[in-house]
């Protein structure tokens, strides 16, 4: 809820306006560089500011993308994915995929050790994947990335065969993410219950070691001096250049931007759109802007609950929001208005949707009349049989101001009031929020979900991804076509099939008015000129392995 349902601490995503899964989800692997020039220098401490603090640090249980982004520095994956979607060796030197996509055999490096000295081998792969699917782990997102997992066979000490009950073509992409990264088996046996708290209990094999965490303030990662197995997509081999990486949690946008320009931090994520011009104009600083892949920031409509169980009402709402104007105003033109549930940087994005469903309040009025909402009360809201046309849109209090979404929500409420729809947007604590959203009691759920794969559409729209099963399908609708097409997409890597089925999925989601795409998330990162080698991975997350500081 990677978030609002962005990945939440339950199966939705907190970017659901917050957490439908508190913001998880996503891909791995290094890709395009954000900056870098000159000869790298060893040493120094880089301090970075982020807008969100993890609710849980456990990569196997959390759904937050901020957890995966920070912990990427601590945990390695079997493979890495580049910005074009291709896969490259990491902890696995090579792999074979069965013709039916039901098994994947990985040949592992023999020189990898966790920071506690435990060796990484096929048994470690099995221990981690089995840990993810164990009920005691309470995984909310990683377990979905393992799909129809049936087990891992230790073929020999450095060969692991991962099997599935049915074809599961997205597995390599999933295996590139932090969520399927690896804890030391020794740590799993002794300290699995402490992973959520972060700190030294979180033992990985990555370029940094999780040294300490002070809730509400910062997390400190230190260089792993023995690291020598970075992904082939990285720009160097051996240990990281930085001695230390400090992550500060600064949720207030102005404070975060000020910390950057005053030199308190060298990198600041989520620069507010209104501060972009200032950062660009400040000597000694750069502004990096990149569109995120995966699910856009979308408004998902619960088609199982009145009044949105009527497609005409859903369509009226979809066409009654002035998305172009609202997004442009709130994001100062920095985030592009969205037309599809997935972003333009996601494989198999359907460009033909652009401009196909514009703002049309006259059509909205006509549809609501047809649906029987013809009355008006004293406040101007539509009524039917004496009942006001009201929808419930819960707001997760801890994510209220993210990217100005609270202001955007106000604009949406005003738009829908014009066509006679009342939108209630109560601020809820996490427990109450989860009960309403995952229990199907909300009419609207706002959610973004970064992932460099069109399989994110399966998570959004397949009935197998129902919240009751740990999924994030906030529409609560079982549609035969959407199920069939997203299942077909999962069963193959054939590009022609993907182009066909995923285009149809995007179009049908819009036609059924199950979703109102709002905007494509853009990473706005400010950095000091002293920072070099900072990179984004395929999920648009910052990675610090190649980063270094000029003296």
H/E stretch holding 217 reads none
User: Which backbone phi and psi does 416 adopt, to 5 degrees?
Assistant: -75, -25
Instruction: Tell the burial category of 38 from Cβ atoms under 10 Å away from its Cβ (0-12, 13-18, 19+).
Output: exposed
The structure's pTM equals 0.87
CA 442 to chain centre: 21
Model confidence at 503: pLDDT above 90:
yes
Please list, in sequence order, all residues whose beta carbon lies within 8 angstroms of the beta carbon of residue 420, skipping any fewer than 6 positions away.
365, 368, 373, 376, 380, 381, 382, 389
Mean residue pLDDT of the chain comes to 91
Nearest Cα residue to 82 out of 173, 207, 171: 173
240: its two tokens: 């990281």
Higher pLDDT, 517 or 470: 517
DSSP structural state of residue 335: S
Higher pLDDT, 192 or 467: 192
Instruction: Say what the pLDDT of residue 2 is.
Output: 37
H/E stretch holding 127 reads helix 122-133
Model confidence at 241: pLDDT above 90:
yes
Instruction: Say what the pLDDT of residue 308 is.
Output: 98
User: Measured between alpha carbons, how far is 205 from 208 in angstroms, rounded to an integer?
Assistant: 8
Higher pLDDT, 141 or 354: 354
> Is the CB of residue 430 less than 8 Å from the CB of residue 55?
yes
Mean pLDDT, residues 172-193 taken together: 97
149: its two tokens: 């997992």
Nearest Cα residue to 443 out of 514, 360, 507: 514
Higher pLDDT, 25 or 460: 460
Model confidence at 367: pLDDT above 50:
yes
pLDDT band at 400 (very low <50, low <70, confident <90, very high): low
Higher pLDDT, 342 or 289: 342
């Amino acid at each position: 809820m990677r978030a609002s349902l962005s990945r939440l601490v339950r199966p939705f995503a907190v970017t659901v306006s917050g957490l439908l899964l508190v913001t998880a989800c996503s891909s791995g692997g290094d890709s395009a560089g954000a900056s870098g020039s000159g000869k790298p220098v060893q040493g120094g401490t880089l301090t970075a500011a982020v807008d969100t603090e993890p609710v849980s640090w456990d990569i196997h249980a959390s759904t937050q993308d901020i957890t995966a982004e920070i912990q990427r520095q601590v945990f390695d994956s079997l493979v890495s994915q580049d910005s074009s979607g291709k896969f490259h060796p990491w902890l696995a030197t090579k792999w074979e995929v069965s013709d039916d996509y039901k098994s994947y055999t990985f040949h592992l490096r023999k020189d990898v050790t966790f920071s506690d000295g435990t060796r990484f081998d096929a048994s470690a792969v099995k221990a981690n994947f089995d840990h993810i699917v164990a009920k005691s782990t309470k995984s909310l997102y990683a377990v979905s990335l393992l799909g129809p997992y049936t087990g891992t066979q230790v073929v020999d000490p450095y060969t692991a065969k991962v099997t599935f009950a049915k074809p599961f073509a997205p597995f390599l992409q999933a295996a590139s993410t932090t969520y399927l990264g690896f804890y030391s088996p020794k740590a799993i046996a002794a300290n699995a219950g402490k992973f959520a708290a972060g700190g030294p209990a979180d033992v990985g094999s990555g370029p940094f070691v999780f040294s300490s965490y002070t809730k509400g303030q910062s997390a400190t990662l230190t260089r792993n001096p023995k690291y020598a197995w970075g992904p082939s997509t990285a720009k160097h081999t051996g240990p990281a250049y930085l001695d230390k990486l400090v992550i500060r949690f600064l949720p207030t946008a102005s404070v975060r931007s000020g910390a950057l320009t005053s030199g308190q931090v060298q990198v600041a994520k989520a620069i507010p759109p209104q501060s972009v011009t200032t950062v660009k104009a400040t000597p000694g600083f750069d502004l990096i802007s990149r569109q995120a892949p995966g699910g856009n920031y979308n408004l998902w409509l619960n088609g199982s609950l009145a009044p949105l169980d009527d497609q005409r009402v859903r369509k009226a709402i979809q066409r009654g929001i002035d998305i172009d104007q609202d997004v442009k105003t709130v994001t100062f033109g920095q985030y592009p208005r969205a037309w599809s549930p997935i972003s333009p940087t996601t494989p198999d994005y359907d460009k033909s949707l652009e401009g196909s469903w514009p703002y049309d309040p006259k059509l909205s009025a006509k549809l609501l009349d047809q649906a029987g909402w013809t009355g008006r009360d004293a406040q101007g809201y539509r009524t039917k049989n004496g009942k006001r046309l009201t929808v419930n849109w819960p707001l997760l209090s801890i994510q209220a101001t993210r990217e100005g979404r609270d202001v955007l929500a106000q604009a949406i409420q005003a738009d829908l009031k014009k066509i006679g729809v009342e939108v209630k947007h109560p601020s809820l604590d996490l427990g109450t929020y989860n009960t309403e959203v995952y229990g199907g009691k909300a009419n609207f759920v706002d959610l973004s979900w970064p992932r460099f794969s069109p399989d994110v559409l399966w998570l959004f729209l397949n009935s197998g991804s129902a919240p009751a099963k740990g999924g994030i399908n906030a529409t609560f609708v079982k549609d035969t076509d959407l199920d069939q097409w997203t299942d077909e997409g999962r069963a193959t890597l054939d590009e022609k099939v993907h182009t066909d089925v995923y285009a149809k999925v995007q179009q049908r989601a819009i036609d059924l008015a199950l979703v109102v795409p709002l905007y494509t998330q853009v990473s706005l990162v400010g950095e000091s000129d002293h920072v070099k080698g900072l990179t984004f991975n395929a999920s648009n997350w910052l990675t610090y392995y190649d980063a270094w500081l000029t003296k």
